[in-house]
Homo-oligomer: A and B are copies of this chain.
Amino acid sequence: MRTGIATVCLSGTLKEKMQACAIAGFDGIEIFEQDLVTSPLSPEDVRKMAADLGLGLDLYQPFRDFDGVTPDLLKANLRRAEAKFKLMSRLGMDTILVCSNVATATIDDDALRADQLAELAQLAGDHGIKVAYEALAWGKYVNDYEHAYRLVEAVDHPNLGTCLDSFHILSRDWDTAPIENINPEKIFFVQVADAPKLSMDVLSWSRHYRVFPGEGQFELAKFMGHVVRAGYTGPVSLEVFNDVFRQSDVDRTAVDAMRSLIWLEEQSANWLADAPAAGTVPGGGAPRRRYPMELATLPKVNEPAGFNFAEVKADDTAQLEKLLGQLGFAFEGRHRTKDVQLWTMGQARVIINEQAASHAEPAIAALGFDVDSPVIASARAQQLKAPVVARKVQAHEEVFQGIAAPDSTEIFLCQGSPDGTAAWTHEFGEGLQHPSAGARAVIDHVNLAQPWQHFDEAVLFYTSALALEPQPFAEVPSPSGLVRSQVMQTSDGAVRLVLNLAPVQQAHGQKTYQEHIAFAVDDLVSTARAARDKGLEFLQIPANYYEDLDARFDLDPGFLATLQELNLLFDRDADGEFLHFYTATVGSVFFEMVERRGRYDGYGAPNAPVRHAVQYDSLHRT
């Protein structure tokens, strides 16, 4: 699959954008006209730079408001087009995108439109240019890709074809199956963009909220599957208008973009493998056709079986040790060669890393996941352009395959054992053979704060590299603003990551992003009592909360008293019940203990505002 990206997706100057695209590995780019018009580079400079960078200049875009106009306007439009064709010759480009008319069309007549497009195609042919005509979702008269293609067919000129853009097609819910009926020689270009499903006017949606494939909710693999089955072999190019990407670091965004295409390519191949071949009976076992577009695939991984460990880091680790001890964790010893400690409770393993920079406050540094094959999972992540994390290892120590997540949390791909143990624990203390005695416990979920400019990137990262599935997002009120909360999890809930997009926290200059690790136990009340007896500092839940809880749930008075006595929070839904408590925060980390009753699958979302408010309040009082 030939990969491409429109320069409008990225921040910076044309030169910065081109360099970033080349570094990220794109085959070609679309030159968004404004990026050229505002650039000090001459067309010849751009042509040479593209050649030097090994970047194809695959599409010049957009040419607007051409068709369905009066004869006077047609003349002016053809003059304008010819100027652009000449410019393209200097750039060494051969394909231009012409969008269906939005603003100046006054005549709704397909015969007239076809005549005007034919004139344009003729002129383009004279300059060796191909015109890719695209139906904008909000085109005045032409807003459906099949309509645009009918015009292309009617004109039947070698220099006129169509451009298929997933946003314009999927935002309008057009059926994508008829793409297969398009003559592949008439598909001059394919643009892809994903988007969250928003209920707003399609123009604003398109201009501000598009995201890279895998970061939204469109069925892009299916769209691409139909494109491949149509026989298309040209560029598949990202055109994503996004307010955040436009102001983010250009090199980083380009890599995020490239990752989305690599992932889309694999998903498209998967869709083609699973989907009934066109014209065959589902399950009929007809031999699968080969398609002219070659789709690369990635090393395959299943979703992780569980958390292997979580690692926290600090200069002074005393507070972390104290908290874990009070929660019931056992200190299992130090590593033979590194300044790290192992603490366990059942199958929940926490590494305390003492190798932090001086004065570094306690923070979550790394997460380990149990995967079928660390080597294969790491190969997949690297093909998805995840940065590799290097860890020094000595002879006879387990080699950890590590990659860096977008928020710079280190992600380690570990060998899971069916019995829930981890081989590397032998490197600690006296050589542990088994998990310590004590309460049964696992890491239930980990909550990571994401910088606003890397939130979508993080969703794609965990989707593509770790096979986690994004759930519908929630918004939680806090005293510093709304917190957007996105759960990424495995189908069985064995791994649950919560990505929080924190508000900028301008108010009161507060800047700490709090993150936490939650452990699940069988009996939270006992765990809480034991922790209290060891002097644990619980997050103090206001009395008003328990009154409201009672009003909402009509709880048994004894049970309610227990909850209040132990600062426990409670939730109930149709699937079951949820009990949980939080510790005080040290540095940017706190811990949570949870008990899931029945099939409760949430995170106590109704209680999140209480947690935020109390944490805010205690930050303020200190």
- Is A574 located at the chain interface by the 8 A CB criterion? no
For window 432-452 of A, CB contacts with B under 8 Å fall at: none
Residue of A8, A36, A38 with most partner-chain B CB within 10 A = A38
**Which residues of chain B are near A617, meaning CB under 8 Å?**
13, 40
Query: Which of under 10, 10 to 19, 20 to 34, or 35 or more describes the interface residues of A?
Result: 35 or more
- Interface-side segment among A76-84, A341-349, A367-375: A76-84
B542-A614 in contact (CB<8A): no
**Which residues of chain B are near A40, meaning CB under 8 Å?**
540, 542, 614, 617
What per-residue 1/0 map shows which CB atoms of A460-499 lie under 8 Å from chain B? Answer: 0000000000000001010111100000000000000000
B613-A542 in contact (CB<8A): no
- Is A33 located at the chain interface by the 8 A CB criterion? yes
- The residue that A620 contacts in the complex, of B13, B42, B616, with Cβ under 8 A, is B13
Cβ of A32 to closest chain B Cβ, rounded Å:
9
Residue of A11, A33, A505, A554 with most partner-chain B CB within 10 A = A11
The quantity of this chain's copies bound in the complex is: 2
**Which residues of chain B are near A479, meaning CB under 8 Å?**
11-13, 16
A548-B246 in contact (CB<8A): no
- The residue that A246 contacts in the complex, of B16, B34, B477, B620, with Cβ under 8 A, is B477
- The residue that A610 contacts in the complex, of B37, B544, B612, with Cβ under 8 A, is B37
**Which residues of chain B are near A250, meaning CB under 8 Å?**
507
For window 277-325 of A, CB contacts with B under 8 Å fall at: none
CA distance A548 to B80 in the complex (A): 9
- Is A19 located at the chain interface by the 8 A CB criterion? no
- Chain B minimum-CB-distance residue to A198: B200
- The residue that A544 contacts in the complex, of B43, B198, B199, with Cβ under 8 A, is B43
Known: A11-B507, A243-B481, A246-B477. 4 other contacts (CB 8 A): A43-B544, A83-B547, A198-B204, A247-B504
19 examples of A-B residue contacts, CB within 8 angstroms = A12-B507, A12-B616, A13-B479, A13-B617, A37-B544, A38-B542, A38-B610, A38-B614, A40-B540, A41-B542, A79-B551, A80-B551, A80-B552, A83-B547, A83-B550, A198-B204, A200-B201, A247-B503, A247-B504
